[in-house]
Amino acid sequence: MATAAMVAEFGDVAGWTAEAVEQLGAGHAIPAACRGSSSPTGLAWLAEACEFAPGDRLLDVGAGVGGPAAWAAERFGVRPILVEPMHPACRAAAQLFGLPVVRADGGRIPLRTHSVDVGWCLGVLCTVEDKAALLGEMHRVMRPGASLGLLVLVTRQVQLLPLPEGNHFPTQGELVGLLADAGFDLIQQITRPDDCPRSWSRRAEQVAAAIAAKHQADEAYTLAARQVERLARLLAAGQVSIQLVHAVAG
Ligand SMILES: C[S@@+](CC[C@H](N)C(=O)[O-])C[C@H]1O[C@@H](n2cnc3c(N)ncnc32)[C@H](O)[C@@H]1O
């Protein structure tokens, strides 16, 4: 069940992002639409680990505004299909990138069994209560032997600082157990490199500034900003780390 803060962060801000990109230009779309979870360095690591090939059908669950999927299509020639529950995010992804989007919960993916070649789920697991259902559904729709790329926020200790509303960060042990229980073999895991090129973060920041200029008096803006700030404090305190994971559907 999404809280008001989650609706603000993943719904309202998604719509505002598309609006700001329209204003600033299409070159801003991908950096702005990688909604906080990704950098091109992290995306490249995952795409190489998963051995993306032209024509592969890529399932992106919790795709948000579609930046990572659009990046993968542009760089590797994969054919993404986005699954995302928030209506404004679905609309924004279709509007910015023309990608096929299915509005659905990751725990009930309306796709055929074994119908996709590779899967991504980036910055999503911590926002989902039933992580087992989401991973189980991804395993069902991915073909046997298909690669799964995850970006997961993992907690290192008992969290002391306030969490972003509606977030439940798995421990490393829980993550390993969830993957195994869903039928995935964990191949490799690294801590996400922190080196986002300035040219990329500058475009994302310009979009964020345009959104702030227009919407900072909105209650949804305040709620979403508090979510981002809470996560930033957890990361800065080392209570949560960003992990990139390559697993394979067994
Ligand atoms: C931090 S955003 C990441 C978006 C995108 N993956 C990216 O990296 O830019 C988390 C996304 O997960 C989506 N989400 C939340 N609960 C979900 C669920 N049960 N199933 C699928 N997606 C979900 C949210 O709507 C949001 O778009």
Per-residue confidence (pLDDT) for residue 195, from 0 to 100: 85
Q: Which domains does the chain have, with CATH numbers?
A: 4-249 (3.40.50.150)
Average pLDDT, the chain: 96
Closest residue to atom 20 of ligand 1, CA basis: 106
Order across the sheet with 142-155: list the strands.
101-103, 79-84, 57-61, 116-122, 142-155, 240-249, 184-191
Dist. CA 234 → ligand 1 center (Å): 19
Q: What is the pLDDT of residues 134-157, one digit of tens each?
A: 999 999 999 999 999 999 999 987
Closest CA to 178 of 247, 79, 91: 247
pLDDT of 37 > 80? The answer is: no
Dist. CA 4 → ligand 1 center (Å): 15
Q: What is the pLDDT of residues 112-127, one digit of tens each?
A: 999 999 999 999 999 9
Dist. CA 245 → ligand 1 center (Å): 17
Angle 124-17-68 from CA coordinates, rounded to 5°: 45
Per-residue confidence (pLDDT) for residue 62, from 0 to 100: 98
